[in-house]
Amino acid sequence: MTNLQTIGVIGAGQMGNGIAHVSALAGYDVVMTDISEDALKHGMESIEKNMARQVSREQFSIDEMKTALARIKTSTSIKAHENDDLVIEAATEKREVKEQIFKSICEIVPARTYLATNTSSISITRLASTTDRPEMFIGMHFMNPVPLMKLMEVIRGLATSQETYETAIGFANRLEKTTTNAEDYPAFIVNRILVPMINEAVYALYEGVGTVDSIDTAMRLGANHPMGPLTLADFIGLDTCLSIMQVLHDGLADTKYRPCPLLVKYVEAGWVGRKVGKGFYDYSGDAPVPTR
């Protein structure tokens, strides 16, 4: 049904290298591309580090790790995807960036190639319409961190064929992911619920209801969440949280999805979380310190 052998991943960041990681472990050949050699180097270092951690936990052997790493090829050229059977875009959560990637990739890949996006909020139908094969286009929303999280949201666009859907499900099964079907509405299921909660936590901080530490402690111990919402926001990336809230606000035209001004301010300052060392917490020392 699937006949997938080579998986292309566009983007070597947190999500992209995670998708490459699990695909290689599942036995696929992987081509991971990015515009930056440094990004590719960092992506491969993350994959090796995360696989080594799994080996230490006896999830698989060192030989299996070496075999999986050997399956991953990297390049800064989009032409490296010319023989892929499935290409998954995992670039920044900006519609214009993703649309340009898909326009470019359609000039490279053969007619048999399926296209997928890892978008966490943007319309699958809209992205598919920028390609020459909307019937072979689908949303595969992996959760972060990809090697640990079991869920993949599968989102069909208006034109997505049944064959493409079944191929996506077969791919997810081989990766040992559990799938849930989401309709093509802004932010799908997980982020439709999760990110407004984070935004409300930022409002609680903005309005002085609690401090960073008290808000996170309250939700960890009062709601049994594994981490507080502001810690989670830093982990996701405040820029990504803001982008998702903007998609929800624009797409659903409801004021309850208005991004908190404090979230906007942090993103404008470049304090977007763990990936830059500062967000609602400062990560430059031995332990995270609240920045507000």
Which residues participate in the annotated binding site for NAD(+)? 11-16, 34, 93, 98, 120, 144, 275
- Which one from 23, 81, 121, 153 is the annotated catalytic residue? 153
191 is a catalytic site residue: yes
CA 225, 207, 205: angle at the middle one, nearest 5?
A: 35
153 is a catalytic site residue: yes
CA-CA-CA-CA dihedral for 61, 50, 29, 32, to nearest 10:
-160
176 is a catalytic site residue: no
Whether residue 110 is preceded by a cis peptide bond, meaning omega within 30 degrees of 0, is no
Burial class (CB in 10 A: 0-12, 13-18, 19+), 273: buried
As annotated, the binding site includes 11-16, 34, 93, 98, 120, 144, 275
Question: What span, in angstroms and rounded, lies between the C-alpha atoms of 184 and 87?
Answer: 20
- Which one from 17, 50, 191, 199 is the annotated catalytic residue? 191
Q: Identify which of 112, 118, 111, 175 has the alpha carbon closest to the alpha carbon of residue 101.
A: 118
141 is a catalytic site residue: yes
- Which one from 120, 121, 199, 243 is the annotated catalytic residue? 120
- Which one from 21, 50, 141, 199 is the annotated catalytic residue? 141
| Catalytically active residues, by annotation | 120, 141, 153, 191
